[in-house]
Amino acid sequence: MTVATSHRHRKVAEPRPPLALKQSRLPRWTLPVLALVAVGAGCGIGLVAGLDSTVQWGLIAALLFVLATYLLTTAVEGTRQAKDRLATSAVWTAFLLAVVPLASLLWETVARGTKVLDGYFLSHSMGTLPDALPGGGVYHAIIGTLEQVGLATLIAAPLGLLTAIYLVEYGRGRLAKVVTFFVDVMTGIPSIVAGLFVLSVWILILGFGPSGFAGSMALAILMMPVVVRSTEEMLKLVPNELREASLALGVPKWRTILKVVLPTSIGGITTGVMLAIARITGETAPVLLLVWGAKTINNNPFDGAQQSLPLYVFQQWQQGSDASYDRAWAAALVLIAFVMVLNLVARGIARWKAPKAGR
């Protein structure tokens, strides 16, 4: 402002300096330079103070950067802009803060998991191998997971699908409202509670032993509400005109649902079921209570303890030797890969089969 007035001092007619249409702004290079300085200062402080964690260096640098930007912007551009900058920095920091652990999680799993992951690992069980020795594999766990998840899907998918059809196509009145409410309630059941329920009925009251099937019942309880929710959403996307056209041609309602509504939404429904499968594949707690975990191959899910991938990870971690840690990481990698592939394929199907006339 002072510069402006001194520049225009000859125009005597103006008592006040003209209102600047353009605010004074920081040059574009300020922020990158500040960021560099902050990172440098963070590393410097970290080195001098002898902090051994690089995460702490990063935090110090971030704090310095935010403070410096705020002060500088307040001085040059005013408080409102400074607050805006502060918010921008905070949002970026939040993002970077979250990326660090999540990226580290994936990186560690891949880096440590590939150590023992090979064909032998995938095709052999633990057998009688002592846990502290290297060797052994996850074949029995893969078999167990596939069978348990398969059985759970066989129970939960039809039930969930039919429930969703009831809610969308038939549901009016009190029963539908109650079912909707309890689907929501069921979504929030902790996995260990589902496990405890099957434990109390199947094992404590009916007196059966641990088996893959007991585990899949608990998994089915966890899977059902997810299937209902996603299928419901998909059925609601089917344009009503399709139903009305079919009904107007004299097609019975049940055939309309089977031949018109379901084929239209089949892509979305498949996606929902696959995402639900991906979710229950990673569940450990009910499997721990109901399947117990065997070291050898048990192909029969209805009799005797089995193994499953997440439980295998947990038990190998419990053993606490270097060899078992390696196996735990490798199994975790197999598990993540399985879940991710399911997710990607499911989302691929969703995109490929998306209803053309949705919403």
Partner 1 sequence: MDYSTSPLSETPPPPPAAASVSGRTVRPGDRIFLGLSRGSGVALLVIMAAIAAFLTYRSVLAISGDKSNFFTTLDWNATGTEPKFGIAVLAFGTVVSSVIAMAIAVPVAVGIALFISHYAPRKLASPLGYVIDLLAAVPSIVYGLWGALFLVPHLSGLYGWLDDYLGWTGIFSYSNGAARSLFTVGILLAIMILPIVTSVSREVFLQVPRMHEEAALALGATRWEVIRMSVLPFGRSGVISASMLGLGRALGETMAVATVLSPSFLISASLLDPGGGTFAQNIASKFSEADTFGQDALIASGLVLFVITLLVNGAARLIIARRKEYSGASS
Considering only residues 101 to 120 of the shown chain, the ones binding partner 1 according to CB under 8 A are 101-102, 104-105, 108-109
Instruction: Supply the minimum distance, in Å, between the C-beta of residue 159 and partner 1.
Output: 5
Q: Which stretch binds partner 1 (CB under 8 A): 31-39, 127-135, 162-170, 298-306?
A: 162-170
Instruction: Supply the minimum distance, in Å, between the C-beta of residue 15 and partner 1.
Output: 26
In the bound state with partner 1, the residue whose beta carbon lies nearer, of 14 and 84, is: 84
Instruction: Supply the minimum distance, in Å, between the C-beta of residue 11 and partner 1.
Output: 28
Task: Please report, as residue ranges, which positions from 42 to 101 form the binding site for partner 1 (by CB under 8 A).
Answer: 51-53, 55-56, 80-81, 83-84, 86-88, 90-95, 97-98, 101
Task: Please report, as residue ranges, which positions from 130 to 159 form the binding site for partner 1 (by CB under 8 A).
Answer: 158-159
275 binds partner 1 (CB under 8 A): yes
Quick one: which of 138, 142, 151, 199 contacts partner 1 (CB under 8 A)?
A: 199
Quick one: which of 200, 296, 299, 300 contacts partner 1 (CB under 8 A)?
A: 200
Residue 97 identity: L
Q: Which stretch binds partner 1 (CB under 8 A): 3-11, 24-32, 121-129, 333-341?
A: 333-341
In the bound state with partner 1, the residue whose beta carbon lies nearer, of 139 and 314, is: 314
Instruction: Decide if 311 contacts 141 (C-beta within 8 A).
Output: yes
247 binds partner 1 (CB under 8 A): yes
Quick one: which of 210, 283, 291, 350 contacts partner 1 (CB under 8 A)?
A: 283
C-alpha to C-alpha distance for 121 and 73, rounded to whole angstroms: 58
Q: Residue 237 pairs with which residues in a beta bridge?
A: none
Q: Which two tokens stand for residue 341?
A: 């592939």
Instruction: Supply the minimum distance, in Å, between the C-beta of residue 163 and partner 1.
Output: 5
Quick one: which of 196, 297, 345, 349 contacts partner 1 (CB under 8 A)?
A: 196
304 binds partner 1 (CB under 8 A): no
Residue 266 identity: I
Residue 135: exposure state from Cβ atoms within 10 A (0-12, 13-18, ≥19): middle
Judged by CB under 8 A, how many residues of this single chain contact partner 1?
106
The angle formed by the CA atoms of residues 170, 176 and 179, to the nearest 5 degrees, is: 130
272 binds partner 1 (CB under 8 A): no
Q: Give the position of tokens 């196996």.
A: 327
Instruction: Supply the minimum distance, in Å, between the C-beta of residue 6 and partner 1.
Output: 29
273 binds partner 1 (CB under 8 A): no
208 binds partner 1 (CB under 8 A): no
